[in-house]
């Protein structure tokens, strides 16, 4: 049975991402604030944004960047992030956003895999980026500020060159190349075309219409597809004001909501938990916020209800994944009051869904849960240079999500379990295979498996089961891993076992470990 979003089809403008976000109406002379950081030390108007994006595109073109190239962007949230993103895209290149908390080795992997020819980095990440760029052979380096060995990004912003005339097909040209672990395995480059991203902006706008008079707080990172599409580009396309927060801390976030009079909030489950429990919430005036959307990981209903009582605005979930740009489901604003808490709402406009029995590959019986498959114009054409993973994830045009869902008679969906092995710590993807591969390089480890276990702060966290070759301390092993991965990937518990349970084909039986 195929479930359909409402409306069942949607018109997708034949535009590049930057044309859609910034080019549908002129920015010349528009002195409205497009982006401002939470403490108001940097602000960019729409007029400045349009001019700076054009100059950066021209500067990159002069450097030799052409359609089909890739430019890496490694930064925390700050107003100039938008200038870099759309300067890259306006030059015809694809942007590959990278977490600035990554180690040099992790950054180098993405630089190599993406084939980036230019890297743009925030100053705090520049030392690690320099080491990674050396390892990956990336010569062109710009810093969003001043840092030895990097040219200042201000050179591009101030070069005075016009944006190049580019000819790309929005339906096939890649605009963004984020790296995701998909349903299993190691991170893979997700090829998102201009059409994918523009379609998802149009789809989300049906149920979540953002006005030009709104203020969108951006604490969730722009390098994550949630922040990239749902906050940054949604806000700019609506000519709203986007307020950036470099690093989440509850008091800083609440102060941003209060002082900037934010109109809606974008949350992840750990933030909802803090809103439900932290005494500091009572010290701030949050009355300007009308509603909140939570994504990136499942949200506990009881926690959400407690948070709603504290803050005074409704919180509902959305659903998606990087491979879908990211949205596939939403609770429309006008249905917040009538949609059951705990659901992820309905399929987006122009999106189809199926529930498939993972054991048989046939559609699940009516009323029964099954793996959620979706299709629509927001779904990626495939992974970068990985036809095997693409074939396993895209089946006859359907995207296999790896999540088990159910749907009621009104077309409202619930996520009830998952097939995929990813661990979600504070909404960030932690692929167990990556940690297992790292642990197996330790001289005292014979075998290892990693699973997600409940975690009070992060929702879920990695726990390692280890077969040791000789005595080794759990804390020492966790410290060793922590030195080699981004902080959110750290192993937070270790249990030593005599063997790792595996299937006859060698697949780790994670459910037995859980």
Q: To the nearest 10°, report the CA torsion of 43, 47, 51, 57.
A: 70
Does 448 reside within a domain?
yes
Whether residue 73 contacts residue 83, with contact meaning beta carbons closer than 8 Å, is answered with no
Do 416 and 430 have their domain in common?
Answer: no
The pLDDT confidence band at residue 424, using thresholds 50, 70 and 90, is confident
Q: Which of 399, 420, 441 is the last residue of a domain?
A: 420
Whether residue 406 contacts residue 416, with contact meaning beta carbons closer than 8 Å, is answered with yes
pTM over 0.85: yes
Q: Residue holding tokens 């009830």?
A: 416
- Residue 142's nearest CA partner among 72, 195, 65, 205 is 72
Do 5 and 126 have their domain in common?
Answer: no
Owning domain of residue 437: 423-513
Whether residue 418 contacts residue 403, with contact meaning beta carbons closer than 8 Å, is answered with yes
The pLDDT tens digits of the residues spanning 342-372 come to: 899 999 999 999 999 987 889 998 888 999 9
The pLDDT tens digits of the residues spanning 382-398 come to: 999 999 999 999 999 99
- Residue 244's nearest CA partner among 274, 52, 236 is 236
Do 49 and 160 have their domain in common?
Answer: yes
Does 390 reside within a domain?
yes
Q: Residue holding tokens 């591009």?
A: 156
- Residue 465's nearest CA partner among 452, 448, 441 is 448
The pLDDT tens digits of the residues spanning 162-220 come to: 999 999 999 999 999 999 866 555 679 999 999 999 999 999 999 999 999 999 999 99
The pLDDT confidence band at residue 59, using thresholds 50, 70 and 90, is very high
**420 pLDDT more than 80:** no
Do 88 and 236 have their domain in common?
Answer: no
Do 307 and 352 have their domain in common?
Answer: yes
Does 186 reside within a domain?
no
Evaluate the CA torsion angle 420, 421, 422, 425 in order and state its sign. positive
Does 305 reside within a domain?
yes
Q: Which of 420, 448, 473 is the last residue of a domain?
A: 420
Do 111 and 125 have their domain in common?
Answer: yes
Whether residue 161 contacts residue 139, with contact meaning beta carbons closer than 8 Å, is answered with no
H or E stretch at 389: helix 387-393
Whether residue 460 contacts residue 453, with contact meaning beta carbons closer than 8 Å, is answered with yes
Q: How far apart are the first and last CA of the chain?
A: 33
Give the number of C-alpha atoms closer than 13 A to the C-alpha of residue 42, restricted to the C-beta side.
Answer: 18
Does 176 reside within a domain?
no
Do 284 and 320 have their domain in common?
Answer: yes
- Residue 448's nearest CA partner among 485, 474, 487 is 474
Cα 409 versus chain centre, distance: 31
Task: Give pLDDT, residue 503.
Answer: 63
The pLDDT tens digits of the residues spanning 313-341 come to: 999 999 999 999 999 999 999 999 999 88
Do 67 and 148 have their domain in common?
Answer: yes
What is the domain-level CATH number for residue 197? 3.40.50.12780
Cα gap 156→159, rounded to integer Å = 5
**140 pLDDT more than 70:** yes
Does 329 reside within a domain?
yes
Do 33 and 70 have their domain in common?
Answer: yes
Does 187 reside within a domain?
no
Cα 382 versus chain centre, distance: 17
Domain count across the chain: 3
Task: Give pLDDT, residue 299.
Answer: 79
Cα gap 87→163, rounded to integer Å = 8
The pLDDT confidence band at residue 223, using thresholds 50, 70 and 90, is very high
Whether residue 445 contacts residue 466, with contact meaning beta carbons closer than 8 Å, is answered with yes
Mean pLDDT of the chain: 93
Cα gap 475→481, rounded to integer Å = 10
**414 pLDDT more than 70:** yes
**421 pLDDT more than 80:** no
Cα 123 versus chain centre, distance: 22
The string over 340-353, giving b where at least 16 C-beta atoms fall within 10 Å of a residue's C-beta and e elsewhere, is ebbbbbbbbbbbbb
Do 162 and 198 have their domain in common?
Answer: no
Cα gap 254→262, rounded to integer Å = 10
Q: To the nearest 10°, report the CA torsion of 314, 260, 237, 23.
A: 170
Q: Where are the alpha helices (DSSP H) in 246-354?
A: 250-259, 269-277, 301-311
**148 pLDDT more than 90:** yes
| Longest pairwise C-alpha distance within the chain | 69
Task: Give pLDDT, residue 300.
Answer: 78
Q: Which of 384, 402, 420 is the last residue of a domain?
A: 420
User: How far apart, in Å, are the Cα atoms of 437 and each of 372, 386, 432, 433, 466?
Assistant: 29, 19, 9, 6, 12
Do 236 and 334 have their domain in common?
Answer: yes
Do 305 and 387 have their domain in common?
Answer: yes
Does 175 reside within a domain?
no
Beta strands in 301-397 (DSSP E): 315-317, 319-320, 327-330, 346-347, 352-356, 370-375, 382-383, 394-395
């Amino acid at each position: 049975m195929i479930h359909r979003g409402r409306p069942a089809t949607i018109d997708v403008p034949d535009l590049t991402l930057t044309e859609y976000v910034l080019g549908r109406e002129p920015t010349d002379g528009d002195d409205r604030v497009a982006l401002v950081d939470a403490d108001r030390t940097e602000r960019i108007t729409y007029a400045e944004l349009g001019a700076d994006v054009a100059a950066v595109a021209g500067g990159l073109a002069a450097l030799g960047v052409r359609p089909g190239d890739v430019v890496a962007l490694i930064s925390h949230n700050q107003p100039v992030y938008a200038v870099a993103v759309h300067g890259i895209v306006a030059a015809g290149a694809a942007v590959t956003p990278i977490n600035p908390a990554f180690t040099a080795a992790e950054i180098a992997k993405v630089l190599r895999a993406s084939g980036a020819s230019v890297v743009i980095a925030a100053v705090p990440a520049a030392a690690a980026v320099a080491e990674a760029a050396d390892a990956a052979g990336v010569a062109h380096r710009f810093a969003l500020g001043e840092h030895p060995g990097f040219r200042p990004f201000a050179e591009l912003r101030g070069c005075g060159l016009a944006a190049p005339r580019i000819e790309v097909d929005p339906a096939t040209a890649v605009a963004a190349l984020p790296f995701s672990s998909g349903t299993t395995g190691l991170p893979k480059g997700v090829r998102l075309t201009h059409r994918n991203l523009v379609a998802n902006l149009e789809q989300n706008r049906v149920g979540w219409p953002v006005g030009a008079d709104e203020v969108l707080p951006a604490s969730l990172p722009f390098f994550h597809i949630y922040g990239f599409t749902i906050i940054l580009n949604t806000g700019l396309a609506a000519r709203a004001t986007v307020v950036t927060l470099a690093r989440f801390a509850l008091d800083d976030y609440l102060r941003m909501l209060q002082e900037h009079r934010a109109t809606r909030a974008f949350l992840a489950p750990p933030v909802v938990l803090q809103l439900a429990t932290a005494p500091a919430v009572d010290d701030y005036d949050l009355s300007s916020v009308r509603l909140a959307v939570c994504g990136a990981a499942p949200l506990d209903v009881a926690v959400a209800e407690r948070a709603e009582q504290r803050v005074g605005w409704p919180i509902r979930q959305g659903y998606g994944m990087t491979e879908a740009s990211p949205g596939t489901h939403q609770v429309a604003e006008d249905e917040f009051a009538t949609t059951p808490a705990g659901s992820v709402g309905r399929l987006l406009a122009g999106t189809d869904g199926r529930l498939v029995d993972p054991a048989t590959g046939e559609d699940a019986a009516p009323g029964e849960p099954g793996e959620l498959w979706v299709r629509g114009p927001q779904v990626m054409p495939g992974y970068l240079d990985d036809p095997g993973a693409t074939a396993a994830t895209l089946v006859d045009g359907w995207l296999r999500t790896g999540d088990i869902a159910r749907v009621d008679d009104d077309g409202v969906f619930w996520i009830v379990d998952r097939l995929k092995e990813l661990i979600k710590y504070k909404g960030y993807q932690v692929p167990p295979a990556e940690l297992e591969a790292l642990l197996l390089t330790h001289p005292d480890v014979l075998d290892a498996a990693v699973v997600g276990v409940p975690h009070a702060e992060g929702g879920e966290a990695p726990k390692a089961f280890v077969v040791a070759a000789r005595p080794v301390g759990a804390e020492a092993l966790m410290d060793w891993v922590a030195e080699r991965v981004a902080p959110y990937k750290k192993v937070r518990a270790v249990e030593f076992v005599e063997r790792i349970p595996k299937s006859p084909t060698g697949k780790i039986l994670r459910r037995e470990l859980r």
